[in-house]
Chain A
């Protein structure tokens, strides 16, 4: 399920192939194929986790750079997309941490001046619900996106994140509860 090409979204991305994609660790052409097949899904996850599309694109490239460096050590017995998602989530966590540092520096820099609004063209269109998801802790948001956007099972998410299935269930439950509180439902 994790290695299917394209995505399951209706009418937007190609239908998944019947046979799961197979990749040879360390193979340059295979990594290029993996990039083509998974870039959009990784980007989708990252858009939900970071603040804007350019940052998500940058994080996606960073994800594939890290993956490429370890491509020869990837074991085919583990789902490749789960592995990529794990890297992507770590990249997003890293980015959020740096973002907080940057924001603190920015606040100090413009003390006494009004804060500039975000460039609307760079920020993803965000409903109240989407904004609430973006504000969740990264690991909770990642679990939500993997579950409700990509449609992975808790077991697959646990494999992707390298945590027990119980932890995934707990993160999902906490995230949903938080959203209900934020949205007043």
Chain B
């Protein structure tokens, strides 16, 4: 062994021995580190935040809309209110009459307005309180933070499909607001 090798050996031991003899620290936890990294770092962060935000917005929009319309936090009650409204409208239909659109329009308009208000509160919201025979309400949220709600129901299509098609003009203007059109030959 040369002088430089001997000196090197002694020097390394003199410096490194006391330092490496320090107490052994606990091993760094990898599981927690990884989970945190997944949640907080890289591409995972953006996706996680988007998904969480979307879920939160959808839940909040649905809850606020339901509460505004029915006055209850229980989603089962929202459904009951809608069902009640539809069945009461059906009962009031006279024989031979079709469609409950006008009947439920007030209800759906009120619901649509409430949902629109809730969605605007939460972020970007669209609402449609249609007056064309709608009864069932949907509060939808997607992960982009948009809350969409429609007052449309499948009844609308069903009602239209079951109404017999006719070529005859309506007998009278139900609102009586428009005079019948006249066709006259010109000079």
Give me the interface of A with B, judged by CB distance under 8 Å.
7, 9, 12-13, 32, 35-36, 39-41, 43-44, 47-48, 53, 57, 61, 64-65, 68-69, 124-127, 129-130, 133, 144-145, 148-149, 176, 179-180, 183, 185
B5 on interface, CB distance cutoff 8 Å = yes
Q: Which residues of A contact B20 (CB under 8 A)?
A: 7, 13, 40-41, 43-44, 47
- Contact yes or no, B5 A148, CB < 8 A: yes
Which has the most chain B C-beta neighbours within 10 Å: A36, A57, A125, A129?
Answer: A129
- Contact yes or no, B19 A148, CB < 8 A: no
CA of A144 to CA of B33 in the docked complex: distance in angstroms? Answer: 34
Least distance between B43 CB and chain A CB atoms (Å): 20
- Contact yes or no, B8 A179, CB < 8 A: yes
Least distance between B20 CB and chain A CB atoms (Å): 4
Q: Which residues of B contact A69 (CB under 8 A)?
A: 30
CA of A127 to CA of B15 in the docked complex: distance in angstroms? Answer: 9
B17 on interface, CB distance cutoff 8 Å = yes
B183 on interface, CB distance cutoff 8 Å = no
Q: Which residues of B contact A61 (CB under 8 A)?
A: 25, 27-28
Q: How many residues of B contact A (CB 8 A)?
A: 25
Q: Report whether over half of chain B's contact residues are helix, strand or loop; otherwise say mixed.
A: helix
B21 on interface, CB distance cutoff 8 Å = yes
CA of A148 to CA of B25 in the docked complex: distance in angstroms? Answer: 26
CA of A149 to CA of B3 in the docked complex: distance in angstroms? Answer: 15
- Interface Cβ pair total, 8 Å cutoff: 79
Give me the interface of B with A, judged by CB distance under 8 Å.
2-5, 7-9, 11-22, 24-25, 27-28, 30, 33
CA of A64 to CA of B7 in the docked complex: distance in angstroms? Answer: 31
CA of A149 to CA of B10 in the docked complex: distance in angstroms? Answer: 8
CA of A152 to CA of B4 in the docked complex: distance in angstroms? Answer: 18
Nearest residue (CB) in A for B11 is A129
Within 8 Å by CB of A43, from B11, B19, B33, lies B19
Within 8 Å by CB of A127, from B5, B9, B11, B30, lies B11
Least distance between B64 CB and chain A CB atoms (Å): 45
- Contact yes or no, A12 B17, CB < 8 A: yes
CA of A95 to CA of B7 in the docked complex: distance in angstroms? Answer: 27
- Contact yes or no, A176 B4, CB < 8 A: yes
Q: Which residues of A contact B12 (CB under 8 A)?
A: 48, 130, 133, 145, 148-149
CA of A145 to CA of B12 in the docked complex: distance in angstroms? Answer: 8
CA of A68 to CA of B2 in the docked complex: distance in angstroms? Answer: 39
Least distance between A91 CB and chain B CB atoms (Å): 13
Q: Which residues of B contact A65 (CB under 8 A)?
A: 28, 30, 33
CA of A121 to CA of B92 in the docked complex: distance in angstroms? Answer: 89
CA of A9 to CA of B19 in the docked complex: distance in angstroms? Answer: 12
- Contact yes or no, B7 A129, CB < 8 A: yes
Q: Which 10 pairs show the lowest CB-CB distances between chains A and B?
A: A44-B20, A149-B12, A40-B20, A61-B28, A44-B16, A148-B9, A12-B21, A129-B11, A39-B24, A9-B17
A40-B20, A53-B19, A127-B15 given; A133·B27 CB < 8 A: no
